[in-house]
A and B are shown apart, each in its own frame.
Chain A
Amino acid sequence: MSESKGIELKGKDIVNQLAVMIRTGHFHTLENVAVENAIKRFLEIVNPLFHEEDYIRIDLIGEFFYINDTRIRYPIELLLNFDFLIREFRRRELGTISFVSPLKKEEVKEFLRCFLKAAFSNTPFETLEASLERIDSIQVEKLKQIKEDETIDKRKLVKKTYFNAVSFTRGVINKIRSGEKVSIKKAKRVIESVVDTLLAEESLLIGMTAIKDYDEYTYHHSVNVSILSIAIGQKIGLHRRALTELGLVALFHDIGKMEIPVEVLNKPTAFTEQEWKLVRRHPFWGARTILKLRGFDKTSIQSAIVAFEHHLHYDLSGYPKIRSRIPLDFYTKIVSIADQYDAMTSSRVYSRVPLPPDRALSVMMDRAGSQIDPILFKFFINMVGVYPVGSLVLLDSKEMGLVYECNPLLADRPRVMIIVDERGQRLKKGNVVDLTERDTEGKYLRSIVKTLDPNKYKINLAEYLL
């Protein structure tokens, strides 16, 4: 009964060693001892598994590798190698490699030769497939394009998760207002479904966070910050339980705003000094509310810490002013990045003019190291890309569109939903294009030339997602 376990455990080693082998192949000739060693090591991992398995199949689906249909989990230390291999697969439009019988050194070497060569072809996958025909033990399949009807189902799921979370948050805040008890069990379940959806459909769910300019901003903001925080947490390798905790904590970071009079909070004009004073108290109120309501346990303490610290900044230059020079809590660092980003890109926080997503990122970039933890921010920006989801962009094809899904490996080549075609016609049902698509000569079909401010024209990605 332990067979399946064996291959599951080895999955990360196989993918990692495959990456090492290819990387080494990039730098050396295939006769080099470093390449030889990498191949040898690869065989040592793969071949013993044929005692128990008939075949070994590695699939790339979305952002994840699967081995014999089980998603491979790996420690964060291997992240760079995994990312590298995803890039190498995508570059060749390669979706699957199957090993159908034990491998010989010469076969792997030949595979490596073909694999490396294919990258220079205009039709890389076909080239690779043809050149591998002589090797019986290794088979490849092309990367699957996402089908339209699949995306519709996915969108439905994502939408459901998102609005369920918003509606739950609204319910919770109303309950707290009226002094009712809040069920943490339920809250956990809601966040767990957010985590699941994020793992399956990261870009779509992050796309939903574009919903901001809206009557119920407070609830959306809470959910958006929770989603973005979980996304960062996932990127840095937090385990499931920690992701739920992070998501919960993020969801309640602004709970203290409940005590700011609504007239002040939703004021269309700038705050007076007196009103600012009130607004600046929300971290204090937040921590107090959480502790008074929930008493003391691990989650409430973590939530209170984040609620209190989320405007404090990495260098403690924010508010409230404190006396101790204590380092910011790890969760606070994550939540405050998500918070700043969501707040800056929406118009409802403190009557500010919202920034377009890419502008918000560049403002945050200037703050990295002072107000923001620089390394976590690096993870964040690698996650959202140069053109975050929701950015309004003009393409060199004279089409205009909204960034729909970012590409973590090619930051300036996201998937874009076209809303105006090259003749200036508005498209009601956006068509999604992938900026990594190339013509037969290997030239990209479309590239981003300019970004516009979507808020200025009240263009919101969310309306296209629903």
Chain B
Amino acid sequence: MVFPDEIKNFLQSLIKAKKNLHLYPDNNPIYIKTLDDLYNRLATLLDSQDDITLTFKQFDIFYNSELVYHNDDKQESLALFFFKDGVREISFKKGIPKEEFEDFMKIISSDFERELVDDDVVTLMWEKDFRFIQYVVDDTILLEDEGYEEMATKQVIASASSEDQILKAYEEAFGIQKAPTINIVPLTNEDLRNIVEQIENEPLDKSDKMLILLFEMLYLADGQAEFEEITDLIKSAIKYAVEHGNLKALIHTLKSIKEITDKKLFPEKLLIILKGVEYFCNSQIIIKSFGNVLDQGIEYDEDLIQELSQVMDSSAIPHFVNILGQLNNISSRRTIIRILSELGKKDIKLLARGMSDRRWYVVRNIIYVLRQIKDRTVMEFLTKALYHPDKRVKKEAIRAVGELGDSSAVQNLRDCLDDEDESVRINAVKAMGRIESPLSRKYLLEYINNSRFNEKSFTEKRELLLALSRYRDREVVETLTRMLKKRSLFKKTKLTETKAAAAFALGVMKEKSAYNLLKRFVNDKNTLLRENAQMAIKRLGDV
């Protein structure tokens, strides 16, 4: 036997739980504990009887005709919450599984003001098809016209067949010919499979199909006003589609507009209206919501992204550049970079303009995109970026210049060798190595001969000598061997590092003449030098 007071307390906990479940995600410990506690309370109540039935009035809840809850606050009232959608009774039956109870709690703690404008609490319960929670609903709130049923019934009966007609039918029935009956073909497993397949293939979002039909509707439109109406619908559909991650819809639209425009399928003034749709597809609104979708973690097929970047207009470039700085996920930024690497080709200057963005990471990404595009026309912008205050941008720019640049860029790269950051200098050295030109060679040699060279780190020295090793002329070989032979009493460690770097470079050059010299160090007590010398000898042996 459950007493009304116990129900009272249970309802109070339920209201508290309703708030907690609304606040926390379902893997949060508070959520889990709240739900467990409440479920256990209910289960305990159901230990002593088969069900617990609550009845609802506008602001009151009753249990066994005792008032167990009252609240007339329109926002807060649990009674009103159920009552307003027509719920008059709810009962929980013994044996209710936790999952079912959780579903119920999820429904009543969802935000009806915002999330689910189209579903009321009864619809949500109905969809769950609960087995241990039963409810009684008063459907008269749905009635449009209470007298309708009676009126309609009368009307049907008034138009009912007369006795004469029925008897006439009976009389004639014996005279008519027997009609052939149709054969019903029984369903087969094949049919079932076909249907299951059709159901499984139903897409969640059909806005791409909707757009195909909206374009059909353009052809059916009667006059400019209707045409404009449909184009407005197309715009809304595009917005919806992109918000729901349906890129096919966007691609289809852009392709269709292109086809219509190319083939001049409509008179000029209508084509101008369509231009507006194309403009919209490439607008900031659309690209922004595409970015949001990406950040929610939706992933796309390579091919689809490729197709999208081909059909979009260059006017979208600045918007893509803009969201590049706003997206949170690496993978979404990567997608945008992929798009820009293709779309950017349509207007490289416009893309490169993004390099004046205040955000260093945007600039770096754009430089990366430009590297992908491999177009020399942007050298001017890249060269400028070599002097960017952020070293991360600088490095990306140096890499790009190294890949795309010619000897004319070497002068600017040389300036980077003076940078106080080692990684910048190393990148510059590498880039200069890539651009094989007399000027590069000249600057690299100058750098070595600089009195401070010995002070640099092993890595920097190695990279530099490696860059130099591309020039296999006498002067370079002599410089390297001279280094290897050098002896000094001071700064011995630094000197050994320089020697190790020189040994490494000679090995890379496969410089036979250095064989004997290198041999001297293969048993050196300094590990770095010894190993680099051994490596070089090995390389020479491969020749």
Contacts and interface: CB of A to CB of B under 8 A. Distances in A.
Nearest to A319: B220
Contacts of B122: 189, 192
A411 B183 CA distance: 9
A463 B192 contact: no
Nearest to A331: B202
Given A211-B156, A378-B187, A386-B184, A326 B195 contact: no
B167 A420 contact: yes
A305 interface: yes
A79 B187 contact: yes
A64 interface: no
A450 B182 contact: no
B176 A450 contact: yes
A164 B191 CA distance: 35
Contact of B123 (A70, A185, A378): A185
A184 to B, nearest CB: 5
Given A400-B170, A459-B161, A240 B216 contact: no
Contacts of A70: 131
B163 A164 contact: no
A456 B139 CA distance: 38
Contact of B97 (A5, A449, A457): A5
A313 to B, nearest CB: 15
A111 interface: no
A160 B149 contact: yes
B296 interface: no
Interface in B116-142: 118-120, 122-123, 126-127, 129, 131-132, 139, 142
A164 B239 CA distance: 37
A375 B191 contact: yes
A330 B142 contact: no
A166 B236 contact: no
B212 interface: yes
Contacts of B165: 457-459
B187 A240 contact: no
Interface string A37-80: 00000000000000000000000000000000010000011011
B187 A189 contact: no
Contacts of A459: 161, 165-166, 169
Given A4-B95, A70-B131, A466 B192 contact: no
Contacts of A386: 181-182, 184
Contacts of B126: 192, 240
A419 B129 contact: no
B210 A452 contact: no
A457 B179 CA distance: 18
Interface string A167-198: 11011000000000000111011101100000
A299 interface: yes
Interface in B142-176: 142-145, 148-149, 152-153, 155-157, 159-163, 165-170, 172-174, 176
Contact of B236 (A186, A189, A291, A365): A291
A236 B195 CA distance: 7
B166 A466 contact: no
Contacts of B212: 324, 326
Given A298-B205, A400-B169, A185 B120 contact: yes
Interface in A202-227: 211, 213-216
A394 interface: yes
Contacts of A392: 169
Nearest to B172: A452
Give chain B's interface residue range (CB within 8 Å of chain A).
35 or more
Given A167-B143, A168-B144, A189-B120, A1 B96 contact: yes
Contacts of A163: 148-149, 152-153
A166 B206 contact: no
A160 B122 CA distance: 19
A301 interface: yes
B153 A424 contact: no
B144 A412 contact: no
Q: How large is the interface on A (under 10, 10 to 19, 20 to 34, 35 or more residues)?
A: 35 or more
A459 B237 CA distance: 48
B118 A185 contact: yes
B55 to A, nearest CB: 20
B340 to A, nearest CB: 29
Contact of A214 (B95, B131, B156): B156
Contacts of A4: 95, 97, 131-132
B217 interface: yes
Nearest to B204: A298
A119 interface: no
A77 B196 contact: yes
Given A79-B187, A236-B199, A164 B139 contact: yes
A339 interface: no
Interface in A442-466: 449-452, 456-460, 462-463, 466
Nearest to A309: B213
Contact of B156 (A284, A365, A420, A463): A463
B219 interface: yes
Interface string A234-251: 001110110010000000
Interface string A279-312: 0010010011001100111110110110011000
Contact of B127 (A241, A308, A450): A241
B198 interface: yes
Contacts of A394: 170, 173-174
A320 B216 contact: yes
A376 B153 CA distance: 33
A136 interface: no
Given A167-B143, A188-B118, A381-B184, A326 B148 contact: no
Contacts of B206: 298, 301-302, 305, 329
A1 B194 contact: no
B271 to A, nearest CB: 17
B251 interface: no
Given A160-B149, A375-B194, A462 B169 contact: no
Given A76-B196, A291-B236, A450-B179, A1 B97 contact: yes
A3 interface: yes
A323 interface: yes
B129 A240 contact: yes
Contacts of A359: 179
Contacts of B139: 164, 189, 193
A23 interface: no
A449 B178 CA distance: 7
Contacts of B168: 457
B189 interface: yes
A431 to B, nearest CB: 15
Contact of B95 (A1, A301, A452): A1
Interface in B10-53: 43
6 contacts: A185-B123, A193-B142, A215-B155, A284-B220, A324-B212, A330-B199
Given A457-B166, A462-B156, A463-B160, 11 more contacts: A4-B131, A77-B189, A170-B148, A171-B144, A193-B139, A296-B240, A324-B212, A329-B209, A400-B173, A411-B184, A424-B170
Q: Which 7 A-B pairs have the closest CB atoms?
A: A171-B144, A167-B148, A296-B240, A163-B149, A463-B160, A457-B169, A394-B173
